[in-house]
Amino acid sequence: MAHEFDFLNMNFFTKAKVYPGSIGTFRYRFQREGWIGEGTLQAWVYENISFELAEDVETATFDWTEEGIAALRGWLLQKLQERGSEPYSPDPKGCGWDVGEKSMSACKDDRKWGSNLRKGKNLEGRQEIRDIWRWGVM
């Protein structure tokens, strides 16, 4: 039976130092230190938002060996089961792709706010900035 993380092997981690990824709304990130056989692989799983803004983060470190990568795969599968995943939706608020029952006027404020943030206007509140990233209104 194929698993979501079967692609992870010894050579996968030689391509770059940092690897972000996702399965729907389940987000993960890897960072390697050192080299095959003597290095380590650090893994993070986090909420469906950018890594830099995430607050709900779990991390673990594994040896860069066959056994370490097998343990990494197992840890990721466990976290995927615990956290769950939903198919990615580019517009969960219904503000542009499929308006449905929500009026466009309710969405214009969100878009204006995102526009103000992009223009560098001072908008206070980490939670509000996190919501902008989460709902993709930028």
Residues 21 and 51 in one domain: yes
The pTM of the full predicted model, rounded to 2 decimals, is 0.64
Residues 62 and 105 in one domain: no
Q: Which residue has the higher pLDDT, 109 or 13?
A: 13
Residues 39 and 79 in one domain: yes
- 76-123, pLDDT tens digit by residue? 999 999 999 887 665 555 454 444 444 444 444 444 444 444 444 444
- 15-66, pLDDT tens digit by residue? 999 999 999 889 999 999 999 989 999 999 998 888 999 999 999 999 999 9
Helix/strand/coil (H, E, C) string of the chain?
A: CCCCCCCCCCCHHHCCCEEEEEECCEEEEEEEECCCCCCEEEEEEECCCCHHHCCCEEEEEEECCHHHHHHHHHHHHHHHHHHCCCCCCCCCCCCCCCCCCCCHHHHHHHHHHHHHHHCCCCCCCHHHHHHHHHHCCC
Residues 16 and 79 in one domain: yes
Domain span at residue 119 reads: 91-138
